[in-house]
Structure 1
Amino acid sequence: MNVLLLAPHPFYQNRGTPIAVNLVLRVLSERGDQVDMVTYPEGRDIQYPNVTIHRTPRLPFVHNIRPGFSWKKLVCDFFMIFKVIGLMSRKRYDLVHAGEESVFIALMLNLFCKLPYVYDMDSSLAQQLIEKYPKLTLLNSFLNFCERVAVQKAAVVVAVCQALATDIQAYKPKNVVVIPDISLLN
């Protein structure tokens, strides 16, 4: 299977989400899947058979990208879109595995190319934005609508905990699987 894995964060760094993505890469590699991963410029490369890491451009004003929403992530996400378009023009994929906000790139690929995607959901993006920026409460309905569409269109939503899986049931997902964030179980 040809898999396009979207990882909107520095990879590899020894922290939560990159650890989880590393485990996904290891499993896909061991299964024999061909994986193209698109990620940010920061982090160190990890080698697996059948896995190619594609990075967004390193920009002099974008460094030390931290977890959570930031203008730095928006800049990298913008370039991630172009990297994905370039890969899609050269290769046919069977599935997109999208984490965090990259689910909206996967959603566009689903709408325009009928490419199924797995939404690797660590948290509610809508809730996260409103908690960090309370003034966005005015956009609560729109943010929840965007999240609902991303969840509904996903072939599978992989939630990191049962509470998140329960919360998104209101969105009526096709399929939800709970895989606890094992990086937190140490």
Structure 2
Amino acid sequence: MPLKNNKKICNVLMLAPTPFFSDRGCHVRILNSYERMGKSGARITLLTYPLGRNLDGINTVRVAMLLGYKKLSPGFSFYKPFLDILMLAKATGIMRRERIDLVYAHLHEGIAIGIILRTMFGKKLIYDAQGSLAGELSGQGTISKKGIARRIIFAAEKFLSNCPDEIIANSNSMKKFLRDECGVKKPIQIISDDKIRGVILKNASSFTPNLALPKGKMIAVYAGGMDLYKGIDYLIKAIPFVKKNIHFLLIGYPFDDAKKLAKGLGVLDRITFTGRVKYEELGAYLALGDIALAPKTSDAGEGNGKLFAYKSAKLRVVCFDNKTNREILGKSGVYAKEKSFEELANKINEAV
């Protein structure tokens, strides 16, 4: 890949059209790629949206704030096109000042910006693929799963996916999707997130979460986005069928819809919602769990990086049976039939 056997320091512009760092999976992937390239000797400038946390050791440049922009969670926002225009303008200045050698794009908006930069400056464009744009938007309910909007978005996704000079994929499943569904012929290298920055185990004993968990019960922990399309609806619908001696610790945000669903099913007292938790403190929260849960389905159009965090915390994982989960967990996973909350409940009962 781009930095191998390269004695010259490589100046990289990393495009992250998202409010980095907001303590969610997509951003962990971006962080991992930054640190991996940094260890290879690259000098990296990470360009991102105005919101998000600044992390030590990450050379972060942000575009100007737009009045009214507050969204940290994933999903469509009216502000994104305007923020991407600001990113392009800012990126153009960085390319000129920093003498950038390589453009490294995250997300499909990043590819679009990168294409323009490559045209202007003639620099190599690499895309870090971690999900399907059409799959994610349909999973979120922004577009229908079979309508004309999805066909248009997917056509744009296919076009963009074929534009980079090289692609780094987060899994074999992602590589297969790019080859089979998007028709990508360019080189694709798989680099997974199996090395989770060391924070999961390192910080497990250095921080104590202030939670009032019930005593004498097994703790089933979930860490990730709390939007229902991420499989949270299946998880909460499974709870009435799970043994009473199991309590659920759900780590993440935004949880309003999940809490409403739990209240309607009468299981709110069996769940502890933490809200947003700093990634640096995640290990301490995972250490409270006896088993881990990953209810995301293949329809979500995303990777499942939380599985690497679970593995680092040495937790047994209950999840749905799909290619991505099996690729990461292998024989160690406890697999339920996809989209069946009844079977998910059965497997949770078996796992403890």
State the TM bucket, normalised to the shorter chain: 0.7 to 0.9
Distance 1:12 1:155, change over 3 A: same
CA drift of 1:30 comes to 2.5
Uncovered stretches (5+) of structure 1, i.e. residues with no partner: none
- Whichever residue aligns with residue 190 of structure 2, its letter is V
Once residues 26 and 130 of structure 2 are traced to their aligned partners in structure 1, the CA distance between those partners, rounded to angstroms, is 8
CA drift of 1:5 comes to 0.2
Where 2:162 maps in the other structure, the secondary structure is helix
Which residue pairs with 1:68 in the alignment? 75
Where 2:21 maps in the other structure, the secondary structure is coil
Instruction: After superposing the two structures, state which structure 1 stretch, 93-102 or 135-144, moved more.
Output: 135-144
Aligned runs of 1:1-186 on 2, under 5 Å?
1-48=10-57, 52-100=59-107, 101-131=109-139, 132-134=142-144, 137-170=147-180, 171-182=183-194, 183-184=305-306, 185-186=308-309
TM-score using structure 1 length:
0.85
Tell whether the 8 Å contact from 1:151 to 1:173 is kept in structure 2 after alignment. Answer: no
RMSD value over aligned CA atoms?
Answer: 2.3
Number of aligned residues: 184
TM-score using structure 2 length:
0.48
Once residues 29 and 179 of structure 1 are traced to their aligned partners in structure 2, the CA distance between those partners, rounded to angstroms, is 15
Once residues 65 and 150 of structure 2 are traced to their aligned partners in structure 1, the CA distance between those partners, rounded to angstroms, is 33
Distance 1:86 1:164, change over 3 A: same
Larger radius of gyration: 2
CA drift of 1:130 comes to 4.5
Tell whether the 8 Å contact from 1:11 to 1:42 is kept in structure 2 after alignment. Answer: yes
Tell whether the 8 Å contact from 1:35 to 1:52 is kept in structure 2 after alignment. Answer: yes
Distance 1:155 1:174, change over 3 A: same
Where 1:134 maps in the other structure, the secondary structure is coil
**Same amino acid, percent of matched pairs:** 27
Asked which structure has the greater RCO (Cα within 8 Å, sep 6+), the reply is 1
Once residues 135 and 126 of structure 1 are traced to their aligned partners in structure 2, the CA distance between those partners, rounded to angstroms, is 8
Uncovered stretches (5+) of structure 2, i.e. residues with no partner: 1-9, 195-304, 310-352
CA drift of 1:96 comes to 0.9
Cα-to-partner distance string for 1:125-159 (whole Å, 9 max, x where unaligned): 13333453129932555433432332222122122
Distance 1:136 1:87, change over 3 A: farther
